[in-house]
Structure formats: structure tokens, C-alpha cells
A and B are shown apart, each in its own frame.
Chain A
């Protein structure tokens, strides 16, 4: 009979009146963000050895870092991500040998000015090398050598 399908369709639509809502009222309510979510990057500076593996892993050359030699170790002085070129693929996070680079759950990365968009994760001066710290560094390196 012609129109049977139409009636069935109307029934399905009518049933939807009593089904639970599929939408939420954003931004008052938000869906929970999963642990693996690719949000804004965070860098654990203490763990970072400034090896530059993340910068090499990036397909778009997003990451630029500067380092300085302090004693025997490399000291990270500047770590900037040109986040506007980022694909959020996660290859940099995966490549980190010290597990220092992570994704966070922050999704709001909007800025008013273009100059604010680059994500500056580290910007600091390298500590001056004093005689004491040099001695300490050489001692630790001696111990490592043993």
C-alpha cells in the first residue's frame, strides 16, 4: 500500500519525542575529555634533555628549540611551538625518549592577537657556570664514569 513507509517513518519520528536527548548544552555542560585527547602541549622541563627528537619527528617543522651548554649538560633555554602549523598528530609526543612532552586536556587555544598564538613552553636564561657548579658537575660525571 502506498504511504505505508511514510506512516512508519512518522511513527519513528514520533517515538523520538520520548527518547533521551542526544545533545548537551555547551558550554555549561561538556563531554568528558578522554585521557589520550590531543589538546595543548605541556613540557616537563626537568625531564627534557634538549635532544631535539621532537623537532625532527614533526612533519611540519612546528617545534623550534634553543639550548646552551652548561657544564657538561645541555640546558634548554627556549622551546616554542608554531601551533598554527600543528596537525596534532602526536608524532612528537611519541618520539620523546624521556617522556617529557605530553598532551593536556586544554582545548581552548584561541587568541586575540596573532603574536600570542605561538606556544612558548620554555623561555629562560641559562644559569651562569660558577666554579662550584663546575666542580659538582665534574664530580657527578666522574661518578657516572665509574
Chain B
């Protein structure tokens, strides 16, 4: 008598479409996923523990290594928490520099997200085109900070350095070119029927489930939930910019991808406005901060919207020059929480599409 049985398949850890070292143990019935068990921790470095043995400033380079595709946003969240703890005022010009550098980082991260997603689906040209613009973005960041990926640009009470001469004009010029490039990706990837067939109605995430699982970032907005910290609880100088929060309707892979694509157009809008406004602001880029940073005993929590979702830093101080405890709320890790149920019932080939649409970053998942 012929009978069928379920079997296990190891997806990863060394699989290119996991975007790092991530393992999913899939239980399959033929080609259908019955159960998926995500296993992470292969990239664990103990950043939270390392932070306890370093001074407040020395933690900044370590936060770079969480989400290394958008390092500035990780720096920013941490310094915001320490600034809250110390009640330091950040100069206006520094806030604008943070916004410009942060949005460029977000653009670099989204370009990777859409590029590698098209690669996951099987479109190689889209990947190359996205990397072309990412290269320009990284050149600009390199000119500003000296590093291409791990920027370490934010400092407690400001930023490391002011923009070099002519840098803002270069960014402005690049932002003028960017919409045409996004049109190119739209034509090549978003409008492609094969791509749509692979992503539409796949990995549907309902808005109420997304809220219950505390999912954030474009993955949440793809389900149609209007929650972007930059709009909902404006931090820094985001209340001075006019921009929209793109939303999806169905909450499938395509909507999550499309949200990122539309968000890139908003990034261009924000950066252009920021450059316009920063030209009228002169002044220092570093606030008045003592040389040895010793926040008063207490704790502070600050959260910002990164390219992956809401990153939160909880910093506890005991009055010494080193933090007593640093905890990071990593959006990539929390967004993975629903993965098991999201994958159930879909084909093995869709696993890659669903995982890619969440845009996780393993440096951040494992911390």
C-alpha cells in the first residue's frame, strides 16, 4: 500500500536567500509547508553585553554592526537614548545632518531590499540596477563620514563632522536623478507580470495580526496599517517635512515590496526639503557635552523608525562612565515572529519570496 509522510528540510544556514546565516527547519508535505521553525543565533556577537564594558561613546561603533546596511539609523537610535538620559540639547544643524545622513542610509538599505528581492525571485538585472544607485549613495556617505557602511557618524549631542564643501550640492543633484532611477526599477521589476505572479497573494499578513505580533516598518505598512514613527511620533526635525506614508492594501509580498519602492520616493522628498532648510542654518554640529560622559543614574528608552522597522534602545545608567545595561529592540527579530504561520500552506519556492519580503538583517536579528 502506498502512503505519504512528512519530511524535514533544512533551509539554510548557508543559503543565499536567507541574506545571512539564518536557518529554517521546514516540515514539508510534498511541496507544501506544514510547519516552519526559524532558528537564529548564528551571528550572535553579544553586542548588548559588550556595551557594558565600554564607555557611552565607545558603544557607537558597535551599534553600526547591528543593521550594517543602514548604520546611521542604528547610531541615531542609541545616541537619542543617551541624550534623553543626559537631557542634552542637540544643535539644529546636527539634527538636519542626521536626517540627511539617516535618509541616505535608509535609501541604501531599501535599494538592497528591492535589489536582492528581485534576485530572490529570479530577476538579475533589477539587482544590478539597484546596486548602481546604491554605489552612488555609499560614495556620498563615504565622503561625509569616511566609511562606506559602518559609518559611526552620530555622536552624543550631535554628529561627528559637518558636511564637506560642496557635499550638499552633490546630494541634491543625486536626489534629482533618483526619481528617474526609481521609475526604471518600477518598469523593470514592479510592472513585470512574472514578478507579480510570484508575489501577489503570497504570504498574506492581516493588519490585526501584524499589530498583534508587533510587526513594524514597511512590513506593517504593507498590510495597510498607517504607523510610521516619523509621522506618528515625530522625533528630531521630522515634523518640518512634508511627506507621505505609503501603504499597501492586501498585505502580501508584493505590497511589502511596493511600500519600500514608494518609500524611496518619499526619501527623495525629505532629503530635498532638508537640504533646502539646512542651507539657512548655521552653527555647530556638536552640542555642549562633557568630555567624560557620565549620565545621572536612571534609565531611558528611545525609538526611531529605521528601514526595517522600529528600533528601540533602552539604556540604564548607574552614574558611572559605562552603561549598566543596554537593550536593543530589533525590528528584524520581532518581524520574524510571525514567519512560521506566514509560511504554512505555501510552496517551498514561496518560502524564499516570503522571507525576502520581510527584509530581515541577520546582524540585527542575532544582535
- Range class of the A interface residue count: 20 to 34
B161 within 8 A of A: yes
Contacts of A2 in B (CB 8 A): 193
Closest CB in chain A relative to B129 CB, distance in Å:
8
Asked whether B318 is an interface residue with its Cβ less than 8 Å from the other chain, the reply is no
Contact across chains for A34 and B58 when beta carbons are under 8 A apart: no
Does B139 contact A36, Cβ atoms closer than 8 Å?
no
B320 to chain A minimum Cβ distance, whole angstroms, is 15
Complex partner residue of A34 from B61, B64, B143, B189, CB under 8 angstroms? B143
Q: Pick the residue among A5, A6, A103 that contacts B146 (CB under 8 A).
A: A103
CB of A13 within 8 A of CB of B188, answer yes
B322 shortest CB reach to chain A, Å? 11
Can you name the residue of chain B whose Cβ is closest to the Cβ of A35?
B164
Q: Give A1-35 interface residues, CB cut-off 8 Å to B.
A: 2-6, 8-9, 11-13, 16, 22, 31, 34-35
Q: Which of B150, B160, B164, B188 contacts A12 (CB 8 A)?
A: B188
Is B6 on the interface with A (CB-CB < 8 A)? no
Q: Check if A89 sits within 8 Å of B164, measured CB to CB.
A: no
Contact of A89 with B150 at beta-carbon distance under 8 Å, contacts A22-B132, A36-B161, A59-B62 already known:
yes
Give the residues in chain A near B15, CB-CB below 8 Å: none
**A67 contacts the other chain (CB 8 A):** no
Q: How large is the interface on B (under 10, 10 to 19, 20 to 34, 35 or more residues)?
A: 20 to 34
Does the CB pair B135–A22 fall under 8 Å?
yes
Contacts of B184 in A (CB 8 A): 12
Pairwise interchain contact A94-B188, C-beta atoms closer than 8 A: no
B346 shortest CB reach to chain A, Å: 23
Q: Contact: A8 with B61, CB < 8 Å? A: no
A40 at the interface (CB under 8 A from B): no
User: Shortest beta-carbon distance, A129 to chain B, in Å?
Assistant: 33
Bound-complex Cα distance A34 to B192 (A): 39
Chain B residues packing against A (C-beta within 8 Å): 54, 57-62, 64, 125, 129, 132, 135, 139, 142-147, 150, 152, 160-161, 164, 184, 187-189, 191-194, 196
Known: A22-B135, A57-B58, A90-B160. 13 other contacts (CB 8 A): A4-B193, A8-B187, A9-B189, A12-B184, A34-B164, A36-B142, A36-B164, A59-B58, A59-B61, A87-B152, A89-B150, A91-B57, A91-B152
Q: List 29 A-B contacts (CB under 8 A).
A: A3-B193, A4-B191, A4-B193, A5-B192, A5-B193, A6-B194, A8-B191, A9-B187, A9-B188, A9-B189, A9-B192, A12-B188, A16-B125, A22-B132, A34-B142, A35-B164, A36-B164, A37-B142, A57-B57, A57-B58, A59-B61, A59-B62, A87-B150, A87-B152, A88-B150, A89-B61, A89-B150, A90-B147, A90-B152
